[in-house]
Structure 1
């Protein structure tokens, strides 16, 4: 890399790491925030859900806007919004403004993430340099989720939950100042028009869908609110598909979505993010509810996952070379992640299981990030610069939706199993069985999707050679 490329990479990775930290840093502080700001118990979930709704629902829209007006403009605007929202969130003294700040942070994530990834792919041409850059980006992404949980616990215990907001301010200011000096490209497309009907239907449809799934995690899948939200989401997304077939400049051109690398690559990315997010949630329950560790100790034990994530990102480009491309790496990463997660099914209730559980979680984290790199390279390759915002908007959408839905789905499985055994087993034993069952389903799902993606993508690769 040139010196400018190296500095550009540091800037973009710093932004992605900050956004990943934002997703999880407030989760640890939720009970404390609830007590200080008089949140009703049923509304605590909105501290995380409000962020997720904006981030997932608007990623595709802002990815496309980045193509039209310029990725650099959207990137810098998103950073400014993140900085201001974090400053206001840290000073808020009531529930409403705090949720408003979280929505603004989610909106900033929907702007910065696809625009930043588009700038990254435009700054590094397809090949080893882009693979290396995306590898480090994947490492920062997963490490940020893990570090967010650790930092959230430390800041809440030592200082205040407000520092979960304030910590973004100096970082945001630094990034906003450096971005105009380092970033080039992403000037936009003259004369291009935004598909307003498509933007409205897809954004509202995704928000309704993610809201319904989030409600299912707290109220159950049979709840009327859950079912209505899911139905509205499905109808709006169907309308979005009809709109895209009938407008001259669609928000998401079907020719892009028809590319196997885009569609199947995103399916693989969806599986790896669902599996990893759910694994962290289930392991958190296991370490605290079964093994009896404190939240602080639990947070620090996840440092092993951060190390695995970093090593996975650093070595993933070499695996691309060794395996002959990003698609085999995506498949191999998914299968390895699923197998290492699935083996956790055998974990028991004794504290002697801590070391083997963390070792398997380390391997799963490593495989997860290699799968992320395979996913990102696969899903963004073969497209011109003027469509990189769309491609990265789709990958960001995949990531955000998967992160949001993974926990409610696996939580429902664990809860159902726990309840079925509660009458005949102790609470600890029933909880362990519920966690183990969800872990097994998690692993089998990731492996199955990995094999399916491999069947389509790798067979396609082999056809010309035959």
Structure 2
């Protein structure tokens, strides 16, 4: 049979040629690389940016916060726009905004312009992320090829973090800080130019009413929530800088919940949240975000503060995690064919919990090979096994017209979980470190953070057992 044979588009999309699907995957994976890359690549250049544009320590944090706020806050809007206007159209628009903002960021000659460019990057990422994941699930119907595609997606997601640290160091040291923004331009163009030819043009619902009140309260609530959580790191939990946005988030998100029950065309249809498997996948995704952010954050601090690693070496030290994720995700398809998909999130959550628990052993005299490498590999295998089934479960039984918002919820869960987890675990780690004197204080604090993250991951395993039951996803009837 020719490799050019037609393949069903899955979630209501048109048929896509088999060979073209893999080219489409390269386009979609490139967009995901853009999003993940910018979560870390700019961090390495912050010192040079601060010196060049004369940032104060207080204002410099907005180079990171502006991106986080816009990305986390506008995900629901991005998902609904994909459903309403068409996934491909919104995807191309999101990549275009992100690429243009990256170009602008590199040329920024003032603090305000750079922060605005970072916010625009976050908005572009929020628009393209749900559309990209939804398109991937359309292009690859349930089965072996989808498993492979999700394995690639998982590898890019994990690898982008490490690649960002390595590239950030190389570009900053070898060229100058604007290149950490300009590197996005060729990647963005490579994703945009072939998108119209390779990605299916599934129509949106342009006549559907847009829930403006839901958009305002939902987006505003998420922005306020992320802002409040980010501020806990600098101001603590009892400061007005933290409490005011958190209180505003509580009011707006409560209003959002009430509106979603009463609006004729809500931003998040209740039928999506009534799907127990979808809700379970979103909750486990939130917990994954909490634990994985903690893994990267505390290990980076340990490797820099205790092992004396620089940014490039830290990035290289995370590569075993990336490789383990890619290999495990590749073999997840074989295991799913034999056992069904349900054991994968359970086994993955437990392996991540074990990996985090093993990192409790870190101390001033610890070595990378003896203390860090084995838990990294274990956690990577767990992430690779769980990601494929969880991603499919996040849209299981969802109608094609709701796939964008379902993908947005899955992405938002990971983003909010990561921000919330970092705030809570950093506070716990700091409190533990202050209770101990001597050279072991910092390591003891990080170790405590790993222990709490491991316990949280066990909750993810429990939710995987009780809520995530994606057997029907593999059968290919997720929209029936």
Scaled by the length of structure 1, the TM-score of the pair is: 0.94
> What is the distance in 1 between the residues matched to 2:198 and 2:61?
38
Deviation at 1:213?
A: 0.3
**For this pair of structures, how many residues does the alignment match?**
456
> What is the distance in 2 between the residues matched to 1:318 and 1:218?
46
The runs of 5 or more residues in structure 1 that have no matched partner are 462-466
Q: Residue 8 in 1 paired to residue 19 in 2?
A: no
Find the counterpart in structure 1 of residue 412 from structure 2.
397
Find the counterpart in structure 1 of residue 458 from structure 2.
447
Alignment of 1:44-63 (within 5 A): 44-63=60-79
> What is the distance in 1 between the residues matched to 2:206 and 2:469?
38
2:151, 2:326 within 8 Å by CA — same for their partners in 1? no
1:373 corresponds, among 388, 392, 403, to 388
2:151, 2:330 within 8 Å by CA — same for their partners in 1? yes
Deviation at 1:460?
A: 11
The runs of 5 or more residues in structure 2 that have no matched partner are 4-17, 473-480
1:312, 1:369 within 8 Å by CA — same for their partners in 2? yes
Change in CA separation of 1:443 and 1:451 when aligned onto 2, cut-off 3 Å: same
2:86, 2:205 within 8 Å by CA — same for their partners in 1? yes
Q: Using the TM superposition, name which of 396-405 and 71-80 deviates more.
A: 396-405
Deviation at 1:253?
A: 0.8
Q: Using the TM superposition, name which of 189-198 and 61-70 deviates more.
A: 189-198
> What is the distance in 2 between the residues matched to 1:121 and 1:433?
43
Give the aligned CA root-mean-square deviation in angstroms. 1.8
Find the counterpart in structure 2 of residue 100 from structure 1.
116
Deviation at 1:442?
A: 0.7
Q: Residue 350 in 1 paired to residue 365 in 2?
A: yes
1:347, 1:353 within 8 Å by CA — same for their partners in 2? no
2:176 corresponds, among 160, 168, 175, to 160
Deviation at 1:204?
A: 0.2
Q: Residue 362 in 1 paired to residue 377 in 2?
A: yes
Cα distance per residue 1:191-241 (max 9 Å; x no partner): 211111001100000000010000001211111121111111111111001
1:139, 1:312 within 8 Å by CA — same for their partners in 2? no
> What is the distance in 2 between the residues matched to 1:75 and 1:124?
17
Alignment of 1:64-143 (within 5 A): 64-143=80-159
For residue 251 of structure 2, give the secondary structure of its aligned residue in structure 1: helix
Find the counterpart in structure 2 of residue 32 from structure 1.
48
Cα distance per residue 1:87-111 (max 9 Å; x no partner): 1100112111111111011001001
> What is the distance in 2 between the residues matched to 1:445 and 1:139?
23
Deviation at 1:357?
A: 1.1
1:89, 1:102 within 8 Å by CA — same for their partners in 2? yes
Find the counterpart in structure 1 of residue 38 from structure 2.
22
For residue 391 of structure 1, give the secondary structure of its aligned residue in structure 2: helix
Find the counterpart in structure 1 of residue 13 from structure 2.
none
1:309, 1:368 within 8 Å by CA — same for their partners in 2? yes
- Runs of 4+ that moved beyond 3 A: 351-356, 456-461
> What is the distance in 2 between the residues matched to 1:189 and 1:208?
29
> What is the distance in 2 between the residues matched to 1:169 and 1:158?
18
Q: Residue 256 in 1 paired to residue 272 in 2?
A: yes
Cα distance per residue 1:250-293 (max 9 Å; x no partner): 11011110111111111111111211111111011111212333
Alignment of 1:225-374 (within 5 A): 225-325=241-341, 327-374=342-389
For residue 349 of structure 1, give the secondary structure of its aligned residue in structure 2: coil
> What is the distance in 1 between the residues matched to 2:234 and 2:250?
20
Scaled by the length of structure 2, the TM-score of the pair is: 0.91
Deviation at 1:63?
A: 0.4
